Amino acid sequence: MLQLITEYFIPTVVPLAYLLGFGFAIDAIVKTRTSQGATAWALGLVLMPFLSLPMYWVFGRARFSNYINALRSFDAQVEKMLRGARAPAETVAIDPKEGHDRRAQGELRAFEQLATLNFTPGNSVSLLIDGDETFRSIFEAIDEAENYVLVQFYIVRDDIVGGQFRDRLIHAARRGVRVYLLYDEVGSYKLGRKYVGSLRDAGVHVAGFSGNRRWLSRFRLNFRNHRKIVIVDGKSAFMGGLNVGDEYLGRDKKLTPWRDTHLAISGPAVSGLQYSFARDWYYGHQVTLDLNWTAPGGQASVKKGDDQQALVLASGPADNLETCGLLFTHAIESAEERVWIASPYFVPDGRVLGALQLAALRGVDVRIIVPKMTDNVLFKYVPYAYLPEVEKAGAKVYLYEEGFMHQKVFVVDHDYAAVSTANFDYRSFLYNFEITCLIRGRTFSEDVATMLENDLLSCVQLSRQSLEEHTFFFRVATSITRLIAPIL
């Protein structure tokens, strides 16, 4: 055996591995979407090909032309039908009495250009804090559905909550409601045939989202659909950080209590969420769903105090621009008083990191809340990896200590706030299909700020001194984590 290794394996396989590593390093440099990611992949492929080649084949850059072509076909077929969702006639105007000027108008226009939608008035929006309130609201809405229910989650589990969710979808289908369930094939890899089969037997349309329909495509594991949406009759919807599983109710002993935020919304902005779901469904089936695109809304159709201005922004790797990263960057750059961000992961790219630093330097109250508890050992070190750079500029980083915090939320000044499925990291910025709901107005902004202030009561502020107090090995791990952050 030793002779076989020395005579054949080392002279043949080792040079071949390094040759392949060099070749795919060039591929990474050409195709990876960021310079940091390209550098990390190239170094790994050249220096450690045996380890890096399998990782690159699974998680590296891949084409997604099938998805782009499918969306073009979908848009062409339903352009007239969806005109109200894509470019609503009644859009938000800038009120000079509120102190807005051309700059504010330009800031809003940039958000609308990124979303390819407009802010729409006449929405009723409310925060759903944690799993009990969220699932109770979603279950009630499904039970009251009359025409159809659209459901999309990154993770669906066959556990207690997953069983309750399945039963409600089955009951809805049996009473004549059209039900569609779209789950991510990687996020829901544990979901068994029995679970899916019971839904299909009841008449529920079930599909797994795959980034590419081609067999063994590298795309399948790298570009994931991270959206979490429930839509009922085209009139009401839910979106946010929660998937379907017991851990989202704090039943995982390793990750309890679970802190998360979801959003309940009704009104014209629901069409934006529905549009995103319909495109994803069309990609997998080439079927255009028959949906309600005339959700009630507008100034005359909402109760006093419920007139919220909302914008839905769907982002993903098929976008012409890096939509999600630009959303965060623009929000930070537009801040004048405060920008507070809560995310389970904090892995900013250079553009977003620079925006945070500049905001802090111009006197903006920059606060970043991340969990001390983590579901990934590598992310234990990530907050410390970026701490020196943000703290030097005056930004503050807080560790949430009361369990695992999974919410994806930000608030800017007193003007607008967002609930999202997107984490504050490279993967959400560049590789995942995400959805964000941006709400403009003081009322909702203050609701989010109050919620985050309550979260801050369970936080401890990090400092460079806290990093220096850790062991040498912890600091080394932090430095290594920073190096590989672009490909996490």
| 257 cis-preceded (ω within 30 degrees of 0) | yes
Token pair for 448: 């989010």
Q: Residue 95 burial by CB count (10 A; 0-12/13-18/19+): exposed, middle or buried?
A: exposed
- For residue 304, the one-letter residue type is K
DSSP 450-470: HHHHHHHTTEEE--HHHHHTS
DSSP state of 244: B
Token pair for 85: 């969702």
Token pair for 288: 């255009």
First to last CA, the chain: 37
How many Å apart are CA 256 and CA 248, to the nearest integer? 9
Instruction: Report, as residue numbers or ranges, the catalytic residues.
Output: 226, 228, 233, 406, 408, 413
CA 254 to the chain's CA centroid: 23
How many Å apart are CA 397 and CA 383, to the nearest integer? 8
- For residue 200, the one-letter residue type is R
DSSP E strands in 51-171: the ranges are: 120-129, 148-153
- For residue 4, the one-letter residue type is L
User: Strand pairing partners for 223?
Assistant: none
DSSP state of 33: S
Alpha helices by DSSP H, 175-296: 193-201, 219-222, 270-285
The H or E element containing residue 137 is: helix 130-143
How many Å apart are CA 45 and CA 210, to the nearest integer? 26
How many residues does this entry show for the chain? 488
**Judging by DSSP bridges, how do beta strands 365-371 and 396-400 pair with one another?**
parallel
How many Å apart are CA 279 and CA 375, to the nearest integer? 31
Cα–Cα nearest to 183, from 201, 202, 160, 165: 165
Q: Count CA atoms within 13 Å of residue 83 on its CB side.
A: 3
CA angle 377, 382, 386 (to 5 degrees): 170
- For residue 418, the one-letter residue type is A
Token pair for 279: 């495109």
DSSP 372-396: SS-SSGGGGTHHHHHHHHHHHHT-E
